[in-house]
Structure 1
C-alpha cells in the first residue's frame, strides 16, 4: 500500500497536480529543478494521450535511424583509434628486438611495453565514471582524444625505453577513459531494436584499428606507425562536435528541454521522442518518490537490482581475460610462431586481425536476427572446442602444417563472435540508468587491472606451461564462461532499458527461474 501511494504521488507530480513547494534558501536548486520539470511537462502535455510502449520498443523514423547511425560513426572513428595502441606492441616488439634496432630491448622490457598499456588503463577507467557523470558522455569522449594524440607523439619521438613506456601509459589512460562512455553513450541514444547493433559496432572499428596497425607495421617502422595513429583521434574530436549529448544524462541532470531536443533528433519524430522521454522522466520521478534517488553510490550498488548484473559482468570479464581474448592480440606474432605450423607468423597475425574484423561485422548483423544468448552460446562452445583441440594437438609435440594456425584463427573467430562483444553489450544494457556511468567506469577499471597482470605474466606462464598448457587454460576458461552465461545471462534483445531494469528488480537469479519469479511477483 505504501508503494502504491508513493507511485501515485509520483504520477501526480508528473501531471503537475502537486502544488509548487515553498522555496527556501536550502531548497533553491530543488525548486529550480521542480520548475524546469513542470515547464517541460506542460510543453509535452499531449503525451498523456500517446499510446504506451509495445513490448518496450520505440521505432524511429528513417531520419531518426539515419541520425543514430551517423552519431555512431563518430564514436566508431574514436573506437578505431583506441584499437591502435592495442595492436601496436605486436608490430613494435619484433622491430625493437632485432640487433640493429636503435632502441634494442630484451624480452623483459618487451613484456613491459606490451602490458604497460593495460596498467594505465584502469586509472582512466576509474576516472571515466565520475567524469562522464559530471560533464556528459559526449564531452568525455572528446576529452580522451588529447592524451591519446600526445601519447603517440611521445612514442614516435622517444629515444629511450622509459620515454616509450610513458607514451604507452598516456595512450592506455586515454583508452581507459573512453571505454565506458562509448558503450554507455551508444546504449542511451539507440532505440531497442538497433541497440545491439550500435553497441556492437565499436568492436568492428576496434578490430579495424588493430588491423590498420598490423598492416602499417608490415610496411613502415614503428615510429611512422605511431605518427599515423594520430589521424583518427583528431577526426573523432571534430565529428563529436556535431553530435548531441545523451538524452538520458540530460534528463537526469534536470535539463529536460535539452533532452527533448536531443531525443527528437535521435528519433526523428517529435511524438515518439515525447513518449520515450516522458517514460524516462516518469521512471526518474517514481525513483525519487521511493527515496532511491538520494541513496549514496555504495548503498546503491549493494542493492539486488544493481548487484546482480554487476557481479555477472565482472565474473564474465575475468573469465574472458583468462580465455586469452586480448593476450592473443598483444602477442599475436609470438603466439603463432611458438605454436608451430607452416604459415608465416606475420602473415598469420595479419590474418587473425582480418578474421577478427570480418567476424565482428558478421556478429553485429547477427545481433539483429539472433538472440543475445544464442549468439553467446555459439561463441562459447566454438571457442572452447578450438582451444582444447589445439591444446591436445600441441601436447603431442611440435606440429607442422596448417593445423595450429587454423585452430588459432578458428579460436579468434568464435571468440570474437560473442565473447569479444558481450562486455560492451552488458554495460550498455544490463546496468540501471542511475549507476550506468559510474559502474561502467569501475568495471573497466577492474577489467584492465586484471588484464595488465595477465598480460605481464603471460611470458612466464608460457615458459612454465608451454603453448599446450596456455591453450588448455584458454579452453577451460571459455568452457566455464559459457556455463556461467547460460545460467545467468538474461535475454535483452528487443527489450527497453526500463524493462531490463525491471527484470533485475524481481527475485530471480538464474535465467531459467524468471517465469516462476515473475508469477510469484504477480501473486
Structure 2
C-alpha cells in the first residue's frame, strides 16, 4: 500500500510540475531560455569543453590500434593472435567500465568519476608506452578500455545535467563529435608518429580534463539528489550566470528529486518494473539499433572493405575519417533545431541505402558483373553509410539516453544501456569477418534489414525530447 501511495503521489507531483512549466515554456518561445534570464551560460560551455576532453580521450583509445598494428607487431614480434587480443581487450575493459561507471558516478559524483576514468587511461597509456611484450600491452589496453567505458557513460550524463534544455541536445551531441575527432586524428597522425609517441599523445586530453575539473562545478542535479542544498544552488547559479534567476529551475529540480527519493533505491531488477520500463526500452533499444546496424564492423574493417572492392584503402579510410567529423559536427548543430527523431529517421534512411548500395557492389563482384562499377558503388555505399551514421545514429542515442532515465535510476540504467552498447560493439566486430565469409552482399543486406527495423522502433517507441527539461520528459513518459 505504501509503495502504491508513493507512486500515486509521484504521478500527481509530476503532473503538477508539468502544469507549472507551461508558463516557462511560453517564456522560452519568447526568447528567454531556461535559467538564463539576465545571465550568460559561459560556464556551461566551458564545463562541456572540459567534459568532452573525456570523449576525445575515448576516441584516441578507439583509434589507436588501427595505424599502429604493423609497427607493434614488428617491434615486439607479436603473433597475429597476440595482437588480436591486444585489439579486442579494449572492448572488454569498456564493458567493465560500463557496468561500474554508473554506480560510481552516483556515489562519488560526476567529476570524481571523470577523474578516476582519466587515471585509468593515464596508467594504461604509460603501460603501453613502456611495454616490452604482450602482457604489458594487454594490461595497458584493458586499463584504457575501462576508462573509455566509464567516459562513454559519465560524459553525456554530466553534460545533460548541467545544460539548459535549449542547449542540451547540441552540447550532448558534441560528445560524439569529439569521439569521432579523437579517432580520426589518431588515425592520421598515427601514420606519421611511432606507436610509443602516439601512446604519449593519448595523455594530453587526460591532462586537460584533470586540470579543467578544478574550475567547473559538479552536476547540480547530482548535488540535489545527495541533499547538498547550498552546493546545489551555488553550482546552478555558477552555470547559469551570476545575474540569472535560477529560482524556478531550482524549485523544479528540487521538487522532482524529492519525489523520486520517496521511492525505493533502484537495482538492476527494478529497471524492469512497470514505472521504469518505458525509459529502459527507449534507452536500451536505441543502443541495440545503433550497434547491431553494423557500425563497428564497417568502421573496424573499412580498409579491408575498400581493398576487396578494388579501391585504395588509404584514400578511402582518410576520406571516411574526415567525412565523419564534418557530418557529426553538422548533426550536433541541428539536433536542437531539427529534433532527435527527425535526425534518427534521416540517419536510418541513409544507413539502409548505404547498406543496399554496398551490398549491390559485392553482388556484382561475386557474379562478375559490371566490374568497373564495383569500386564506385562500394565507396559510395560505405561513405553514405558513414555519413548517415554520423548525422544521427552515432550521437542521438547518447543524447536520448542522457535525457530519458529518471535520476534515481540513471546510474543503474545508464550503466546497463552502456553495457548493451559495448556488448553490441563486440558482437558486431567479432562476427563481421565470419558474415563476410558467408556472404559479402548478404552481410550488408542483413544490416539494411536491422536498420530498417530500427527506423520502425524510432517511429513507434522513441519520444521527441527536444525543448523539454529532464523533469518534463519524465512526466511525459510516465503519463503516456
Q: TM-score, normalised by structure 2?
A: 0.89
Going from structure 1 to structure 2, the CA distance change for 1:6 and 1:163 (only over 3 Å counts) comes to closer
Could you give the per-residue CA deviations for residues 125-146 of structure 1, whole angstroms, max 9, x where no partner exists?
A: 1111111111101111111111
Task: Using the TM superposition, give the Cα deviation of residue 446 of structure 1 relative to its aligned residue in structure 2, in angstroms.
Answer: 2.5
CA distance in 1, matches of 2:21, 2:464: 28
Aligned to 2:313: 345
Identify which range, 454-463 or 382-391, moves more after superposition.
454-463
1:403 matches 2:377 = yes
Task: Using the TM superposition, give the Cα deviation of residue 300 of structure 1 relative to its aligned residue in structure 2, in angstroms.
Answer: 3.9
Q: How does 1:368-447 map to 2 (within 5 A)?
A: 368-397=336-365, 399-400=371-372, 401-447=375-421
1:224 matches 2:197 = yes
Contact 2:35–2:246, Cα closer than 8 Å, also in 1: no
1:89 matches 2:65 = yes
Task: Using the TM superposition, give the Cα deviation of residue 262 of structure 1 relative to its aligned residue in structure 2, in angstroms.
Answer: 0.3
Contact 1:359–1:417, Cα closer than 8 Å, also in 2: yes
Aligned residues: 462
Query: Structure 1: which 5+ residue stretches go unaligned?
Result: 12-48, 509-523
Aligned to 1:15: none
1:154 pairs with one of 121, 127, 133: 127
Contact 2:266–2:409, Cα closer than 8 Å, also in 1: no
SS of alignment partner, residue 186 of structure 2? helix
Aligned to 1:480: 453
Identify which range, 367-376 or 321-330, moves more after superposition.
321-330
CA distance in 1, matches of 2:37, 2:301: 45
Could you give the per-residue CA deviations for residues 269-324 of structure 1, whole angstroms, max 9, x where no partner exists?
A: 56632211111112233345xx42x3443564233332112122222322322222
Identify which range, 473-482 or 350-359, moves more after superposition.
473-482
Contact 2:24–2:34, Cα closer than 8 Å, also in 1: yes
CA distance in 2, matches of 1:389, 1:213: 29
CA distance in 1, matches of 2:133, 2:201: 20
CA distance in 1, matches of 2:417, 2:406: 14
CA distance in 1, matches of 2:287, 2:410: 17
Aligned to 2:17: none
Query: C-alpha root-mean-square deviation of aligned residues, in Å?
Result: 2.7
Contact 1:304–1:505, Cα closer than 8 Å, also in 2: no
Could you give the per-residue CA deviations for residues 90-131 of structure 1, whole angstroms, max 9, x where no partner exists?
A: 21224446xxx1234454444333321111111111111111
Contact 1:121–1:449, Cα closer than 8 Å, also in 2: no
SS of alignment partner, residue 243 of structure 1? coil
Contact 2:357–2:377, Cα closer than 8 Å, also in 1: no
Aligned to 2:296: 326
SS of alignment partner, residue 53 of structure 1? helix
SS of alignment partner, residue 396 of structure 1? helix
CA distance in 1, matches of 2:291, 2:471: 30
CA distance in 2, matches of 1:62, 1:210: 39
Larger Rg: 1
2:42 pairs with one of 66, 74, 84: 66
1:356 matches 2:332 = no
SS of alignment partner, residue 75 of structure 2? coil
Could you give the per-residue CA deviations for residues 405-426 of structure 1, whole angstroms, max 9, x where no partner exists?
A: 2221111000111110122112
